[in-house]
Amino acid sequence: MNESWISFLRGILKMPGAKINRTAFLSKVFKDLPEDKLDMCISESPIKAVPYAVIEKKANSVIDAHTVKATAISTAAGIPGGFAVLASIPADLANYYYHVVSVGQKLGYLYGFPDMVDNRGNLTKDGEIMLTAFIGVMNRVTMANELVKKLAVEIGRRITDETITRIAGNILSKQIVAQGVEAVAKKLGTQITAKTAGRTITKAIPIVSGLICGGVTYATFRTQAKRLHQSLTTNATVRQ
């Protein structure tokens, strides 16, 4: 996969809390469900266990929560001395993509995608592929939506034969998605390189700069998250 993109993604995932465990997340989100329904959410998919409207509501709550958090952090990152995270990644960009990566995992789990993290807390190869596709959709990368559709179909087919916990791992990299994910990753790598080089928003007036960062983040993050939400909604319906 494109070196610039995968290095950036792995860097973001080093941040505490960036990797989301599917079982823990779904157990928390659907904690009020009867045990048999919760088990179905985890072993198969929430789509098979609860009304679609409930999943939509949960997805919107995830988007709203991360939009607020991303905006607050972006505002702080625009102020000198705020949120220095990774030496190789500008603070505002790192914090923004922390929430992009988090919301991508959570929305994927709500719409039936398998765990992207293994038992040791490491991102799997399949996880890299799924997140690349999801973030590609968020950034309007050509082929990304089609890639999500292919992933959904492949995962849906496998779920008919075995539980979702058993299919998590390294199954997708050897399937028909390989060419598509390479193209999406290349485009994301180019975008990230340009964004990293272009972080020149002035810090001469710190508070104003922070507010500008926060305003831009609010406008863009929510739109990007809703774009992924729509793609997953459509493709989850295809899988049923």
Tens of pLDDT, residues 78-120: 434 434 445 567 777 888 888 999 999 999 999 999 999 988 8
pTM value is: 0.84
90 in helix, strand or coil? coil
* Of the listed ranges 5-19, 54-68, 161-175, 213-227, the one predicted with least confidence: 161-175
By the 8 A CB rule, do 49 and 151 touch? no
Report how far residue 238's alpha carbon sits from residue 156's, in angstroms, rounded to the nearest whole number.
9
Report how far residue 118's alpha carbon sits from residue 125's, in angstroms, rounded to the nearest whole number.
10
Report how far residue 72's alpha carbon sits from residue 210's, in angstroms, rounded to the nearest whole number.
9
Which residue has better confidence, 168 or 203? 168
Mean pLDDT in residue range 235-239: 71
Which residue has better confidence, 183 or 237? 183
Nearest to 151 by CA among 239, 215, 32, 47: 239
